[in-house]
Amino acid sequence: MFAPEFDYYRAGSVAEARELLDAHPDSTVLAGGHSLIPILKLRLAAPAALIDIGRIDALRGIASDGSTIRIGALTTHAEIAASDLLKGKAAALPEAAGQIGDPAVRNRGTIGGNVAHADPASDLPAVLACLGAAFVIEGADGERRVSAPDFFQGLMTTAVGEDEILTGVELSEAGDGEASAYSKFAHPASRYAVIGTAAKVGLSDGVCTSARVVVGGLVPAPVRAGAVEQALVGQAVTTELIAEASRKVGDSLDDDDLLGDVYASAGYRKASAHAWVRGALSAAVARAG
């Protein structure tokens, strides 16, 4: 397909990118392009200009100070999927990143571009919400950090303002006895998540000390499954308990919000979501134990 005309400016730094955004009304940030370019090709968007931040090296890479992991916005899905640090300390994230699209997509697509697009069927929003990520946004007033519930404001909408740039995400490293996992029902054509479930659990002597379960794919923005979490915390974890707790996921899903399509209706997604919750929980528990 053939995108409509637009201008193009390459930014050498975040500050320059913000200046360019400011100078060119109706402009859009281009990172890896794997969310934006398909939309341009289908002529579903027609920005006047693209501000390419793809060469700002400061936005690339995964680093930890021993408790907080910072992932630059331009870090690719492939880099995340291959990161030993993340596999050890935030396993759900590389697990999810490794299931985005396909290898060539993962080589170019970036975490920043992905979450800034806020596609409900995307894998990362649910994972980042589950891991308690902070989204680092740089604007005229400097840097600010936004939590997932505030960042994902609904279908294709985030907290990033018009003249702001998402520069990275920050996560806490999993502590002793903590682990996370991601379980996905992929659409057979698009590979996007029909249902995507991230779980993070803490275990101590076989008892669940903490649990956070977030589902995506069937909701406009990631939803925390509080009822599932409550059913786990304080209990001795067994296969039966996980199955029973997973069945409570429906309590957290508001029927009015549920997404459905010609492939999988909202009702079916809701009714079968527990299986993916169970999958994520089982994997997280196995890792934590």
Q: Which residue has the tokens 């974890």?
A: 237
In the complex with another protein, which residue's Cβ is closer, 7 or 143? 7
- Closest to another protein by CB, 11 or 131: 11
Nearest partner of 200 among 163, 148, 156, 262, judged by Cα: 148
Q: Which is nearer to another protein, 140 or 262 (CB)?
A: 262
Residue 64, both tokens: 């930890």
Element (H, E) at 135: strand 134-139
Min dist. Cβ of residue 98 to another protein (A): 10
Q: How far are the Cα atoms of 16, 61, 119, 141 from residue 157, in angstroms, in the given order?
A: 24, 25, 8, 21
C-beta of 275: minimal distance to another protein in Å?
Answer: 5
Cα 220 from Cα 25, distance rounded (Å): 28
Nearer to another protein, 159 or 186 (CB): 186
Of residues 212 and 248, the one with the C-beta less far from another protein? 248
Name the minimum Å distance from CB 172 to another protein. Answer: 29
In our burial notation (b when 16+ CB lie closer than 10 A, e otherwise), range 90-109 reads bbbbbbbbbbbbeeeebebb
Contact call for residues 49 and 3 (beta carbons, < 8 A): no
Q: What is the DSSP string of 15-35?
A: HHHHHHHHHSTTEEEESS-TT
Q: How far is the CB of 253 from another protein (least distance, A)?
A: 16
The least CB distance from residue 43 to another protein, in Å, is: 7
Measured over the CA atoms of residue 175, residue 167, residue 147 and residue 117, the dihedral's sign is: negative
Q: Which is nearer to another protein, 140 or 189 (CB)?
A: 189
Task: State the minimum distance, in angstroms, from the CB of residue 18 to another protein.
Answer: 20
In angstroms, give the least distance from the CB of 138 to another protein. Answer: 22
Would you say 142 or 188 has its CB closer to another protein?
188
Largest CA distance in the chain: 61
Q: 18: Cβ–Cβ under 8 A, 6 or more apart, which residues?
A: 138, 139, 140, 163, 164, 165
Residues that bind another protein (CB under 8 A): 1-8, 10, 30, 33-34, 37-38, 40-43, 50, 52, 54, 78, 101-105, 107-108, 185, 187-192, 262-265, 268, 271-272, 275
